[in-house]
Chain A
Amino acid sequence: MNREGFTGFSRGEARTRTATSLNFETQGPLNKLMRLPWGFILLIAAMALTGIAMLYSSAHTNPVEAHLWKLQLVRFIFCFFMMIGLALLPLSWWMRLAFPAYAGTVVLLVLVELMGVTGGGAQRWLQIGPVAVQPSEFAKLAVTMALARYYQMVLQPQSGRILVHLGALAIILLPAALIFKQPDFGTTLALVASGGVVIFLAGLSVRVIGTAIIGGVASVWPVYQFVLAPYQRERVDTFLAQLFGGATNALGESYQIEQGKIAIGAGGLNGRGFLQGIQSQQDYVPEQHTDFILTVIAEEFGFLGSTALLIGFAVLLGWSLYSAARSVSWFGRLASAGAVATVGFYIVFNVGMVLGLLPVVGMPLPLISYGGTAMLTTMACFGLIIAAHMHRDEKLTARGLF
């Protein structure tokens, strides 16, 4: 196979684009705004608004939660403008921010450990003034940026060394360990997984990957036996039991999954219609407005609705990955791809959990689930992806740590 020829095509295309983008660049900031990928942005907005509608549907009968959709709408509008702002940031700025953001996140994670607020059985929240934040959410973006920044620094001069990837692994594992200790198994998994994707894309050799996979599979049993907390083990047990059709206590741990599955199944092809879901309207499914929001969509809009949602996500992520591949800088490529992986794993974990394919890991559905921090992280990820797309031809040179 002629590798040169193929590479040449992509570089040639890049050159053409460089010329056009330079032309636009000269015509001022308004034109930059117009060059934003508006189709992509509108799809994001449409999906987030769908999520708010579903939030209304799931919570409007509950007096305590009835107002949440308004709160979520306000958050979305804020995050939307933040995303546009982030999208316009040149990649060099992103790169300068990468290590400080990473350092800051690690500090916050340590603070959580020391003085965090316990919520839902784990110490995840940090009260900063009036807002409670989940530093573990920020960690996903920060790690992605830090990894991209790291590879930008090391790949150009001395690419391909296996040892190079050890540094990347360290960047991932430091916050991952802190998050795992909270304990938040799901976020840890997502962080390691999306970090792993970045390392894979950065060119880790196939042999090492194969070894890692074998090692990972081998470590499943020891991790289950010695690392997981009892409640986490219980969840895995429940998951396995329901996956293989074993007897589960319908009122116990698997109740949420069971009720969720009933809601999804009851939706059928077309669904029961907006605000018409039996399960959704009666609070059968715990956490339905957060992690189990998919059950509302599935019940009220059926197979067509839930598939449309997944296809919407696929379009967002596919376009993002394609855009990442076209970036000339390693930072642009890897940060963008890492953001895609972060959002992608959110979706896979959440949907897999709700559909009973994965254990309950407490992962929100991006853009759709209720929750401020997840919304912030997701929108920041899309901001980074758009920024990488806008500045795909920007040549970057990494000097020092900033």
Chain B
Amino acid sequence: MSKKPADLDFAFTRRTAIAGTIGGMVWAGLIARLFQLQILDKERYQAQAEANHIKLQLAPPQRGRILDRFGRPLASHRRAGRISITPEQTDDPEHTLAQVAALIELPDERLARIANEIRLSRRRNAGFVPVTVAHELTYEDFARMNVHAAEMPGVNVEMALTRSYPRGRDFAHVLGYVARASQDDLVRLTEGMSDKESETLKTMFRHPDMRTGRQGMERFAEEWLRGKPGYRKLVTNAHGRVIEEIPDERLAPTAGRDLFVTIDSDLQRVAIERFEGESGAAVVMDVETGDVLAMVSTPAFDPNDFVNGISTASYAELRDDTRSPLYPRAHGGVYPPGSTFKMVVATAALESGTVKPTDRVHCNGYYHFGNRTWHCWKKGGHGSVNLHTGIKGSCDVYFYEIARRTGVDKIAETARKFGFGQDWVLGMTGGRGGLVPDREWKQRVRKESWYEGETLNFGIGQGQLGTTPLQLALMTARIATEGKPFKPRMIGIGPQSQDDHTLDAPLDPEVMKLMKAGMYGVTSEGGGTAYRSGDLGLGGPRLAGKTGTAQVRRISREERLSGVRSGSEIARELRDHALFVAYAPADNPKYAISVVVEHGEGGSRTAAPVARDILHFALKTDSRRKPTYSQSASLPKSMTDDGEPT
């Protein structure tokens, strides 16, 4: 069947119109679909576009450093390789963990613990918080992990900043240490917070970089040092892998503030070395400013061991060590002050007016009171003794007599004016106040009345009386400054303790001058108990001090009679502690010091030379010179140990 061309032309036109119409309908369909996606379902897709791919990851703030008075870091940061797993970024964390374990060495015990942590993390709906698998990676491990990390979703290999204590053991008891926040820590830290605040804080502390101060200044100044957390704005692809980070200043964490302490870390080091392995404590203060220049307690632990969690075995070793490295002796060690307390007794006696400096007491080596006999340390006695020779020769009989005349309550009251019986915080933890006994205390605690005989023991710094080396240094500083108001401090820039107050209870300067004269006699006059330690070896300045011996146990009558009192014949841990308090220079006091050498037996023989050498170094290097933090307003930027700004 053949058609005419005109028919064909018409058919073409018509079919073109049909094709065009169909095309138009298809177009309308496409536009309808666009309308559906872009107008009707807009909310859903916009939410997906926003939420799926820009992730806010908690960014922990960098903890502030702790610096000594000359800006030397005591607590800082160190870079260390770390592997962590972000549970939500991997489908099968167990498998991922096994992959990691195939590449680096991980003990089974640790693997089980990590697997458990990952499970916990998921249960808490906190799968976005990375769980640390290994830290302190060796260079080889770090390099190998870096190569393979791309194949393992959810595995992060990164350089983390770890808290570091460059001075190691030197400041263990002052600074304390940081650790991952435990449940107990979180309860303590969130006390009094609203639910929202406490939730934020808890989330932040789950981050593997976050540490909290567990002891010492790290704990005391926690909020000062911590800073505020921020967020990292991360763009992830469909697999959850981070493609890039979008810098956003508004979300950046606020770094913690640096804490400046008054310590001279070199003096601290010299002091520790001077103990030559003996256990003991030393506190050095600037008597003009109250700055604590050294706060030594030895032996000590290495706080670096605690930062990433100390193993149970290592901790047990520290805990069970008979030399007690965990024990903060300088501010938490309570010792009977022994004869170093005699200045307090003398001050009480003179201020109460019951004794005059010229009053004489005859010492023949023992003192009868009631039906008991009290002995002087010097067999045969000191003969006729007044205030000056009593202090210089540390005559026990003289102090039995004036203590008895003065009475316990007056002595206790005076002791408190010197700072005894109070826990001086100074930014540390673990401090103790010791004990200044009096009638009221005995009645309250022991439910007994005070015996006069106890006053005699009190008079020579024994008995119930308990003091810390820190308090002894304070006492010495008050004498050296002749009773001027005195406030100790160890934090130069940072939060101050609300419990510490200024020691401003009046002390008679004339009495203090007599005490100083007595202490000068001890080190510089014939008959002084520490005559050989007076010269500081600097061609002029001398120190003035007072020896002391703290009884570790009661001396039995038999021993006293047989003469076995010291030496290698008794076990070391039963030997007396040696004490020495001093200030220097004697004619113009700048430094006050207290030294306790545990089981050192004689104050003059072991403690005084230690004190002498520490003061020698302090004077020679001028430890108390102006701290750097008070000189310039612009503080140095936060840096890591290797000097890189962070």
- A residues with CB within 8 A of B: 3-4, 6-7, 10-11, 155-156, 158-160, 197, 200-203, 250-251, 255, 259, 261-269, 278-279, 282-284, 298-299, 302-303, 306-307, 310, 313-314, 317-318, 321-322, 324-325, 333, 337, 341, 344, 348, 351-352, 355-357
Contacts and interface: CB of A to CB of B under 8 A. Distances in A.
Contacts of B2: 158-160
Interface stretch (B39-47, B481-489, B587-595): B39-47
B25 to A, nearest CB: 11
B19 A261 contact: no
A255 B239 CA distance: 10
Interface in B28-80: 29-31, 33-35, 37-39, 41-42, 44-46, 48-50, 52-54
B37 A265 contact: yes
Contact of A265 (B46, B53, B238): B46
Contact of B19 (A321, A352, A357): A321
B234 to A, nearest CB: 11
B368 to A, nearest CB: 95
Given A155-B8, A344-B23, A302 B38 contact: yes
A255 B24 CA distance: 30
Q: Is the interface of A mostly helix, strand, loop or mixed?
A: helix
Nearest to A355: B33
A6 B10 contact: yes
Given A7-B6, A10-B9, A283-B243, A264 B26 contact: no
B527 interface: no
Given A197-B19, A310-B27, A303 B35 contact: yes
A284 B238 contact: yes
Nearest to A267: B38
A310 B38 CA distance: 14
A358 B72 CA distance: 69
B33 A357 contact: yes
The residue among A200, A298, A313, A325 with the most chain B CB atoms within 10 A of its own CB is: A325
Contacts of A203: 8, 11-12, 15
Nearest to A306: B34
A236 B596 CA distance: 86
B5 interface: yes
Q: Among the interface residues B20, B49, B235, B237, which one has the most CB atoms of the partner chain A within 10 A?
A: B49
A388 to B, nearest CB: 13
B34 A355 contact: yes
Contact of B15 (A201, A318, A344): A201
A250 B237 CA distance: 12
A264 B37 contact: yes
27 contacts: A3-B10, A156-B5, A159-B2, A200-B15, A200-B19, A201-B19, A250-B238, A251-B239, A255-B238, A262-B45, A263-B49, A264-B34, A264-B38, A265-B38, A266-B50, A269-B38, A269-B42, A282-B237, A302-B38, A307-B31, A307-B34, A310-B34, A313-B27, A314-B24, A318-B24, A325-B13, A357-B30
A399 B413 CA distance: 132
Interface residues of B, number: 47
A278 B12 contact: no
Nearest to B17: A325
B247 to A, nearest CB: 14
A341 B19 CA distance: 9
B499 interface: no
Contacts of A250: 238
Contacts of B24: 314, 318
B238 A7 contact: no
Given A250-B238, A262-B49, A352-B30, 4 more contacts: A160-B3, A160-B8, A278-B49, A310-B31
A307 B3 CA distance: 42
B48 A262 contact: yes
Given A3-B10, A284-B53, A307-B34, A265 B42 contact: yes
A244 to B, nearest CB: 15
The 8 closest A-B pairs by CB, nearest first: A265-B45, A266-B49, A303-B38, A325-B16, A268-B42, A355-B33, A160-B3, A266-B46
